[in-house]
Amino acid sequence: MVASLAIAAPLPLLVPAPAAAALPGEAPAARSAAAPRGAAPERVIKDEVALRVGPGGVARVRETITYEFGGGRSLERTFVTRRHESVTQDRVYRIGNVRAASPDGGPTRVAVAETGTRTALKLTGSGALTGRRTVVLDYEVRGLVAPMGPVEELRWTAVGGWDVPVNEARVTVDGGAMIRNVNCFAGPLDSAIGCTQFYTNHTHTQAVFSQQQMLSGEYLTVVVGLPSGATGGRPIQERRHTVATAFSVNGVTGAALLGLLALLAGGIGALYLLRGRDARVVGRKAAEGDHAPVAGSEFEPPDGVRPGQIGTLIDERADVIDVTATIVDLAVRGYLMIEEEDRAVTGRLDWALRKLDRQAPEDLLKYERLLLEALFTGPDGAPRESVKLSELGGTFATQLDRVRSAMYDDVVEQGWFARRPDTVRSRWTIAGMVLTALGVAGTVALALTTDLALVGLAVIIAGAALAYGGQYMPAKTARGSTVLAHTIGFRAFLERGELPEGAGALTSDGAGPRQRIALFSRFLPYAVVFGAVPKWAQTVEDAGERAEGADNLYWYEGPAEWDLSKFGESMRTFTLATSGSISQSRGL
C-alpha cells in the first residue's frame, strides 16, 4: 500500500488540469471567454421538478429553477395546458395556487396568462438581474391522470417551454403507490425520442427522469403508470368551440331544428292550401273546359276574356308577352295598323304602328286605353299618329308601369283574384327576405357564442323557402279558377291550329276564305300569349293563300312584293321584336 501511494502521488502533476469550475453566481469561464464584453446570454442552469400525486389526480408541484440572468428583470415559464384530442374535444390541464419565492433575490412577482393551448407564468423582479438566481415555484396541476385500462396514466410536460436553453432538467414523481411503468420523451412537444435517463427508486414508489442540454422550445414529457384506482383521477375534457361544433347536431339543435322545420313547413303548407294556388278548384272545374271553346257564330274566346287578361290570369304576372299580345289584339280589333317597312329601303327590319280612328272607345279596358296612350304620346307629351317599333321609349317607358298596374287591377275587378297578384308576391317575398336576413344574423351570433348555429340555419332555409314560395302565393277565386279551366281547353285548341269542322266554310259568294282569315286573326293575339304564334300564324298564312287576291290583312300590311305567304315569318319576328323593344324600354 505504501509503495502504491508513493507511485500514485506524482500522477496529478503529470495530468493536465481541467478547466476551473464556475462558482455559484459566476459565469462559466468558457462562456465568459466566448461571450462579448457586457451582458451574458441567459439560460436555465437547472430546472428541477418534484411532483406528488394526491387524491383525485391533483398534483402538487415544487419546481426549483436556477436561472442565469444577463441583465433582464424577468423570466417566463410556459406550460402546455390544452391538447386537441379531436376536432371538437380538448384535454385540459389546470394550473392554480401559484406561489414564488427566491432565497437569493430572484424575481418573485407572478403573473399568470392563458393563451390558446398554453399557460405562461411570468416572474418579475424589482430591477435588472445578473448572474445566477434561484426561484422556487409552488403550484397545483389538475387533469394529469387518466384511466388507461388496468392502470392510471400520468402524462405531463413537466419541463419545457423556455425561450432559452436548459442545461439540465430533472423530474421526480411521487405516485403514492407502487409504480407499474415509466417512460419519458425529450425534444419537440410530440417527440418520440427518449430522455437521457429514467428509473424508479428501490421501493418503486418514486420515478426519476433527467435530461441534459435542452434547446429553447423543447420539452421533457414524463409518463408514469399507477395502479388502477390509485388516485381516482380523471382527465378534464372540454368541448372546443369551432365551426364544426357551432353547427354540430346535438339533442338541443336536433330537436329544435326538426321542430322548427316542421312548424315552418306546416305553416307554409297551410298558407299554400288556404291562400295559395288553386289546383283543387281548377281540377274540379276542368271538366267544364272540355267543351268546344269555339261555338256559335261569334267565335268568342272562353268567357270573352282579352289576351292580356288571359296572360295575367295564367301566370299571375303582367309581363312582356302580355303587353305584346295586347298590341296585336288592338290591331286585330281595328284600333291601330301594323305596317312592316321595306328592309331593302330602310336597311333594317322595323315596323310602324299607326293609330286608327275607332268609333267605339268604350270597348277598351282601362289598361288598353293606357297602352294606346303610351304608344301614341310623344316624348314632349304631344299626341302622335304613328310610331316606329324601334323608337319606343320616352313616355312609353314611363307609362308601362301604369299599364301593368292597370292589368293587375283589372283581374281583381273581374273577380278572378281577391288581391293583386304582384302585391301578394311582394309581401311574401319581402317577409321571406326579412326572415332570411334575421336567420343570417342569428346564425352568425349563435356560431360565435354557442353550438346552436343550426337553429339559425333552419331560419335561413325557412326564409329562403318563404321568399321562393311567395312567387306562388297569389290566390285565384273560384270564378278565376273556372276561367282558367276554360282557358286550358282554349289553349289546346290554339295549339292544334285548326277551327272546328264546318266553322268558316266556303260560302256561295266566296266569302269563306276571308271569313276564315278574320277568324284566325281574331285568335292570333291569344296564340301570342300561349306561345303558339308559329303554328297559328302558319294557319293564317294557309288561309290567305287560298283566298284570291289576299295579299294583306286588314290589320297588318307588308312592304311591296309581300303577301300572306310570308305572314308566318313576319308575325314571329314582329312578336320577338316587340317584346325586345318593350324590355329595352326598362318598363318590364
| pLDDT one-digit tens code per residue, 327-342 | 999 999 889 999 999 8
Please write the tens of the pLDDT for every residue from 468-485.
878 878 888 888 888 888
- Calpha distance 230→235 (Å, rounded): 14
**Residues in contact with 580: Cβ distance below 8 Å, sequence separation at least 6, in sequence order:** none
Q: How many CB atoms lie within 10 A of CB 251?
A: 7
pTM above 0.75, yes or no: no
Which of the pair, 13 or 423, is modelled with greater confidence? 423
Q: What is the pLDDT of residue 547?
A: 54
- Residue 294, C-alpha cell as written in the block: 269555339
Please write the tens of the pLDDT for every residue from 225-248.
999 888 888 999 888 777 777 777
Q: What is the pLDDT of residue 544?
A: 58
Q: What is the pLDDT of residue 273?
A: 66
Task: For the chain, give the percent of residues with pLDDT over 90.
Answer: 36
Closest to 269 (Cα-Cα) out of 439, 429, 434, 465: 465
Please write the tens of the pLDDT for every residue from 59-100.
999 999 999 998 888 999 999 999 988 877 889 999 999 999
183, β-bridge pairs: 223
**Residues in contact with 573: Cβ distance below 8 Å, sequence separation at least 6, in sequence order:** 349
Please determine, for residue 513, whether its predicted confidence score (pLDDT) is greater than 70: no
212, β-bridge pairs: 168
Please determine, for residue 395, whether its predicted confidence score (pLDDT) is greater than 80: no
**Residues 389/578, Cβ–Cβ less than 8 Å:** yes
Closest to 222 (Cα-Cα) out of 237, 234, 210, 240: 210
Q: What is the pLDDT of residue 296?
A: 35
Query: How many C-alpha atoms does 29 have within 13 Å on its Cβ side?
Result: 6
Please write the tens of the pLDDT for every residue from 519-546.
778 888 888 888 887 777 766 666 655 5
Closest to 106 (Cα-Cα) out of 165, 60, 66: 66
Please determine, for residue 507, whether its predicted confidence score (pLDDT) is greater than 90: no
Q: Which residue has the cell 291601330?
A: 336
